[in-house]
């Protein structure tokens, strides 16, 4: 390998890190200003990036809904 190629390979991770940091800063600023671009990109990320704990999240939501229904049923019985 030539010296230029070795230098490029050594610098590449830092360049990627800086580009991603600038992209994150841009997205954070647009989200603070409530721009549609940030909302659209957030929705796209939610659709296409997998959630590794999706089953656990579904179970938690189902348990919370069940406990809310039970509390609501107990309140109605107590009022009657």
pLDDT digits (tens, 9 = 90+) for 19-73: 999 988 988 888 888 888 888 887 888 788 777 777 888 888 888 888 877 777 6
Query: What pLDDT score does 70 carry?
Result: 74
Q: What is the DSSP string of 39-75?
A: HHHHHHHHHHS--TTHHHHHHHHHHHHHHHHHHHHHH
Contact yes or no for 31/38 (Cβ under 8 A): yes
Residues across the chain: 80
Is the entire prediction scored with pTM above 0.75?
Answer: no
Q: How far, in Å, CA of 38 to CA of 7, rounded? A: 35
């Amino acid at each position: 390998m030539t010296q230029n190629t070795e230098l490029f390979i050594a610098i590449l991770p830092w360049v990627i890190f800086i580009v991603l940091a600038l992209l994150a800063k841009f997205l954070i600023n647009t989200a603070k200003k409530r721009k549609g671009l940030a909302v659209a990109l957030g929705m796209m990320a939610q659709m296409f990036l997998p959630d590794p704990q999706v089953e656990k999240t579904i179970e938690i939501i189902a348990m919370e809904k069940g406990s809310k229904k039970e509390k609501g049923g107990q309140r109605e019985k107590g009022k009657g």
